[in-house]
Structure 1
């Protein structure tokens, strides 16, 4: 259950980074509100997940999901580059996050 909570927390991290961009420096109030809702939920869920997963592992997985997810959102929705090396390193990041899951206590 803690791993599901952690994955959802990571998805809310992707949400708050995306809302941060769309808020246009907090001038668009709807996206700014989305940012604050997503960041609050992300940290709340990260805290909950840390109760059953070692803190270092939870934090690394949370940031990995957020980083990989944000890059993927950028490539799909904001036309950011999707060249070989960028995809290669995103894949290694995802594999590293999965590896942490398998070696966690």
Structure 2
């Protein structure tokens, strides 16, 4: 169950990171609210998962999921340019996250 919570928390990290950018320095109401709510849920889920998953592994997986989804979303929406190199780097990042899961106790 900890791994499920951790993955969901990583997804929420991508949501709050994207909302933070869209809040334009907290000057837009709804992105700011989405940021705050998903930040609390994401951090809470990370903390919960860390009761059973070692800190380094949990944090690495959480950041990897959040970063890869954030960049992928930005490329899909056109906020950042798409390139094969970027996609290969994201695939490598996801591979590292999977590796952390496979070698954890």
Shorter-chain TM band:
over 0.9
Compute the RMSD of aligned alpha carbons.
Answer: 0.8
* Corresponding position of 1:35: 35
Aligned residues: 105
Q: Distance in 2 between matches of 1:96 and 1:90?
A: 10
* Corresponding position of 2:55: 55
Structure 2: 5+ residue stretches without partners: none
Query: How does 1:1-105 map onto structure 2 within 5 Å?
Result: 1-105=1-105
What's the TM-score, normalizing by structure 1?
A: 0.96
Q: Distance in 2 between matches of 1:78 and 1:85?
A: 16
Q: Distance in 2 between matches of 1:99 and 1:20?
A: 29
Alpha-carbon deviation of 1:30?
Answer: 1.1
Q: Distance in 2 between matches of 1:19 and 1:79?
A: 13
What's the TM-score, normalizing by structure 2?
A: 0.96
